[in-house]
Every structure is written in structure tokens, then in C-alpha cells.
Structure 1
Amino acid sequence: MDLTEHYNKLYRDSIAKIAEGNYETDHLIDSETDQRFGITLVIRPDMATNHNIQQFLIEAKAIEPDQYYYQNADIHITLMSIISCYEGFDLKDIHVQDYIDLINKVLSRHKSFKIQFKGLTASPSCILIQGFLTDTLNEIRDDLRKTFKNSDLQQSIDKRYAIQTAHSTVIRFRSALENKDTLIKLVEKYRDFDFGTFEVKQVELVYNDWYQRERFVKKLHTFSLAFD
């Protein structure tokens, strides 16, 4: 996959929809009773990168204060959705240690790697940071796919789509955009902004809701990657 072209196409298509008013709002994001849960392997950006992201979000909040903005604790890259969120999933349905052991076996074969957060793209329902990855990340994903496929553990890897990017959602639309043209101009301003490059030395396995909100996320294990 050519990531630059993928992000560019997503941007062109989505910004056109947003400009026309054909964007999507999510009315479940403020729900305290949303019961969609799953388990996910996530990557967290470093503090310097998160700081740069928050500077952009401060400007966006001034334009569209009623939208949903990710705080630092919630910003993440999905390395792999092991069990995609679904209504009623509970940790007692699985034996967590089995998942930890299997993932640890996979990750022990791989070293740390870098991700660059550069520029913004969009979907009809949100604004995303563009992540650019090394081959190592997709090698880890392929290794996880193969290893889980050969196990008896409950999983839903690639059931929704085969993840190949390293983006991070930072704004979700939860109500009508009051100043969409001004917001689009701001997104254009940050279209190629370099938010930072960070080395991925750790990966978290979490029990999470659909939006990875900190108050619902339970960290199950932190895996360390070997580095030179």
C-alpha cells in the first residue's frame, strides 16, 4: 500500500463530503451505557508528539468547541484489534493470560521501530493524524495474524478490515459543525505538519470501549520490544 496516496484519497473524498455537509455524527460517544467492548494492542505516542497534537486540538476547539477531542491518555495507534468491540463482551469470557503468552511469543521476535506522525487526513466522521510506519509494524501484524490463526483463542482479527496504516483519530464529530469552513481551513493548515517521530519501545494490550476512553480502558499487559 502507498500510504501517502491512501491518506490523500481519504482526505480528498472526506473533506469534500464535510464541505457539502455530508459528514457523520456519532451520538454514542457520550453514552455511559455503551456496552461495546473488546481487546486491542495499542501504541502510544511520546509526550513531545502528543504536545504537538494538543496544540492543533486547542485551535480546533476554538472553532468547534462542541466536538469530541482526544486527550493525551486516549491518543493511540491500533497495532491490532484482537477482539473487535461488540455488545456484551466481558473479560471473564476469555483467559487473559493465554493472550498475553501468545502475544509475548510474537513480539519477542521483533525489535522496536519508529513511527512518524506527519499531516492530517479525514474520514466523514473524524479528523486523523497520518502515521507513517516502517516495515517492522506490518511484519508484526502479519506474525500476529498467522499465530492467532493457528491458535484456538477467540479473535476477530481482520474481520472488519485488514489494518495497514498507523493513523490516530484525534477529533470525532458528535454534533452539527457550526463553522465547518473554518475548521477545514485549519485542517488544511496542518495538512503536512510534522507532529513528531517516536520510537515504539512498548506495546499495550488493553480491554477497551469503542473509543478507547481512559475511564473505560483497562490495561492488561505492557510488552517491551528489544531495541539496539
Structure 2
Amino acid sequence: MHLQEHYDQLYEDSIRRIKSDAYQVDELIDSASDNRFGITLLLRPDDAVKAEIQKLLSKLKLLEPHQYFYRDSDLHVTVMSIISCYDGFKLSQIRIEDYIETIKESINGVGPFKIEFRGLTASPSCLMVQGFLEDNTLSQLRDNLRDNFQNSGLEQSIDKRYAIQTAHATIVRLREKLRNKDEFLSLVGAYRNHCFGTFKVNALVLVYNDWYQRKEHVQTLHKFELK
């Protein structure tokens, strides 16, 4: 399926569910007992793109101040969830060096690439910025990671939940019932095709993270420069 068609289908299905109050509220966001951790290879948008996203979030906050809005420090695109977050995972269970070497092998020969953040899509519990790529660099990188990790014997859960194919960034999570649903959806619709900017990806970061990539729980394990 073409990427835009995939985003469109997600958007239409999710907005329909939100309109009919069949959306999902994340009850673990504020839980002190949430102990889900994993390791993720990710990339981050530049400051100009983040600033454009925050302009939208400031408007959404006026309508729904009690929802969960991503801070600049937490905005990211998942390149690959190496070990998807699960309850009780700790870094002491693995050898970080082995994961770093496998990723280095996977990015060998992979140069910088660009991502355009344009428009919004959704899930029944989230609002996301759509990412578009000018070539197949990210797809090839992901295929390299799949092949190398599957042959590595290392603990990993790549593609166990779903095979990642997009370059989206989650910007809002629903953590309680929408109080101004119609106005909220109207603003989302107004930004459906908004251009948030294009940025160049020069580096990838391997992190130990919680489910929400909150900076207070994220530990940087290695930064990989793309050359």
C-alpha cells in the first residue's frame, strides 16, 4: 500500500471512531507502577520542525489541556523498535556492545536522508504527524536491521507487534475523555495537510526508553553518524 493511502486509511478509521466515542484512553500514562522499558533506534526532527509542531500543540492544549502532549525533547521517529517495551526489562539483561555492533553493520554505507513532515494522521488513541521520504534509504536501513538482528541470536522483538513502514511522529496521546471533541477534531482537520517542514537526518540514536520516550526515563546508549 502506498504510504499516503496508509496514512489516509488510518486517519479515516480513527477519526470515525473518535467521533463515535469509540476511541481509546491510555490509562498508564500517569501510572507510577508502569515499568515497561525497551531499546529503540530512533531519529529526531530538527528545531524548526519541532517549533512548527509546538504551534499546533499550543492550539490543541487550549481545547484539551488535560491530554498528553509531547515535549520537544520527546518528539521522535522510530527507526526500529529493537526490543519493544515490556514490563521489567533492564539493560543488565543484554550486552549493549553487541547491539551497537549489529546496528553499525546495518548502517554501513547508509548516508543522510530527508524526511518531510506533512499533515496529520491518527490512531484510536493518538494524533501523529505524517512523515514522507524522498527515497528508499530508510526502508533499506530497516531491511538491513531485520536481516542482521534475525541472524544475530540477540534478544529482539523486531516486527513482533507490526512491521514498521512509516516515518510518523506521535504528538498527542488521549489520556482522558475529550471535553471539546468537535472543536478538537475541527482543528485536527484544519491541519490535515499542513506542512511542518523538511529536515535532514544525519544521525540515529540508540536509546533505552519507556513507552512514551519521556526524557527523564530515556538513556542514550549510542549515537550513529550517517556518512
Q: Distance in 2 between matches of 1:80 and 1:117?
A: 18
Q: Distance in 1 between matches of 2:10 and 2:99?
A: 33
Aligned to 1:143: 144
Q: CA deviation at 1:109?
A: 2.1
Q: CA deviation at 1:16?
A: 0.8
Aligned residue type for 1:30:
D
Q: CA deviation at 1:101?
A: 1.2
RMSD over equivalenced CA pairs, Å: 0.7
Give the match's secondary structure for 1:32: coil
* Pairs within 5 Å for 1:1-228: 1-133=1-133, 134-226=135-227
Q: CA deviation at 1:106?
A: 1.4
Aligned residue type for 2:12:
R
Q: Distance in 1 between matches of 2:219 and 2:213?
A: 10
Q: CA deviation at 1:152?
A: 1.4
Aligned residue type for 2:127:
I
Q: CA deviation at 1:150?
A: 1.0
Aligned length: 226
Give the match's secondary structure for 1:188: helix
Listed one character per residue, the Cα deviations across residues 125-172 of structure 1 (whole Å, up to 9, x for unaligned) are: 010000112300000000010011111111110000000000111000
> Gapped runs of 5+ residues in structure 2?
none
Q: CA deviation at 1:32?
A: 2.5
Q: Distance in 1 between matches of 2:86 and 2:11?
A: 28
Aligned residue type for 2:146:
R
Q: CA deviation at 1:105?
A: 1.7
Q: CA deviation at 1:23?
A: 0.8
Aligned residue type for 1:36:
R
Q: Distance in 1 between matches of 2:26 and 2:111?
A: 37
Q: Distance in 2 between matches of 1:154 and 1:209?
A: 18
Please give the TM-score of this superposition, normalised by the length of structure 2. 0.98
Identical-pair percentage: 55
Give the match's secondary structure for 1:157: coil
> Gapped runs of 5+ residues in structure 1?
none
Q: CA deviation at 1:33?
A: 2.2
Please give the TM-score of this superposition, normalised by the length of structure 1. 0.98
Q: Distance in 1 between matches of 2:110 and 2:32?
A: 38
Q: Distance in 1 between matches of 2:111 and 2:172?
A: 31
